[in-house]
Amino acid sequence: MPPTHDVIVVGLGGMGSAATHHLAARGARVLGLEKYGPVHSRGSSHGGSRITRQSYFEDPAYVPLLLRSYELYEQLERDTGRDVVTLCGGVMVGRPASRTVAGSLLSARQWDLPHEMLDAAEIRRRFPTLTPRDDEVALHEERAGLVRPENTVAAHVQLATQGGADLHFEEPMIRWEALGGGRGVRVHTAEDTYTAGHLVVCPGAWAPRLLTDLGVPFTIERQVMYWFQPTGGVRPFLPDKHPIYIWEDADGVQVYGFPAIDGPSRGAKVAFFRKGTPCTPETIERTVREDEVAAMADHMSRHVPALPGAFLKAATCMYSNTPDEHFVIARHPAHPDAVTVACGFSGHGFKFVPVVGEILADLALTGDTEHPIALFDPRRLTAAPIA
């Protein structure tokens, strides 16, 4: 019997919802499967805001994907009328030789991205909410800002549905199998069994369980996001005055933060970057302890003194990390004709959501993509040879 669908997408968070939209827009018969409801808060695509930036300290190789992602985010807003992106500007702060500053500057120069270098006095003058040390500098990028993860997922779900995709929420995949011989895949859920010509797996923190045969040593980390009401109110923290920022201390600890984007009672959000604790989706501790809040407030009092005026709330999410903190986006090495994977986004992936959706549609339908994704081949992390 022929497959019931052209493509099945497992996981309808950021990457999976984008993939279903791009696949449906190309006329594919798409089935999307999601463990929870639409736009849920159990994984990584929630929390009200995610940083977007182009002067990318992680590696200059990401910049072409970022430029395309910016285009697609703008298109997403036009197509749905949803508030998705706010470009309020951003600063990458630290000592000149820090990864945050030096890496951002490398990408900006290599790709001729508009930017400015600010010394400590100029940072304080332009952004009075920030108090850098005299030996700290910042790369300022006007095109930096934030994206709203819940709105992004909702927008992609909307467009996927309008394009004819069949989306099943509250229906987790139990297991999948590649049938071999060009026969596609079979996917089993608690409700039914489905077949398709191709499977796209976007498992987020469930990657270690759903992609055991990929051979990548993923680690899952519990992360905490905090919202504080600034002393004196949020006016100095509004997006026209206060930038997004990533701030690296001399000991390498990074924090990141946002302007106040949701009204005077919601405060401003801040979090540590890569200072989480190991967990699994089943064992993550969702309660945030008082000592965690105190540590965050103490840290921020040295950088943004008015921010930790009053603690408002906290929420947890999960990073799905690879050993080198680069993504995994590829056809599955063991099942290249039947399965594509997108995982291990290591805490810096959400800004790429729309372009990853485009890439996954390319890989699922044609086996290749014009986007530069060699960096994300999973075989770099396994014993499998890279052709």
Which parts of the chain sit beneath pLDDT 70?
A: 1-2, 383-387
DSSP string, 41-101: SSSSS-SS-EEE-SS-TT-GGGHHHHHHHHHHHHHHHHHH----EE---EEEEE-TTSIII
Question: Using an 8 Å Cβ cutoff, are 249 and 233 in contact?
Answer: no
Q: Which residues contact 216 (CB under 8 A, 6 or more apart)?
A: 207, 322, 328, 343, 344, 378, 381, 382
SS3 123: helix
Model pLDDT, residue 69: 98
Give percent of the chain with pLDDT exceeding 70.
98
Q: Hey, what are 365's tokens?
A: 């339908």
Dihedral angle of Cα 261, 262, 265, 268, to the nearest 10 degrees: -40
User: For the chain, what is the mean pLDDT?
Assistant: 96
Q: How far is CA 376 from CA 60, 62, 164, 359, in A?
A: 14, 10, 30, 12
Alpha-carbon distance of 105 to 135, in angstroms, equals: 17
Q: Tell me the pTM.
A: 0.97
CA atoms within 13 Å, Cβ hemisphere of 239: 16
As a whole number of angstroms, the distance between CA 254 and CA 13 comes to 26
pLDDT at 338: 97
CA distances from residue 202 to 84, 330, 356 in whole angstroms, order as listed? 21, 11, 10
Q: How far apart are the first and last CA of the chain?
A: 34
Please give the pLDDT value at position 263: 81
Closest CA to 185 of 367, 338, 11: 338
E strands of 125-218, at which residues?
Answer: 137-141, 145-147, 166-168, 173-178, 185-189, 193-201
- pLDDT for 86 equals 97
CA dist 374 and 46 (Å) reads 28
Among 9, 18, 14, which Cα is nearest to 357's? 18
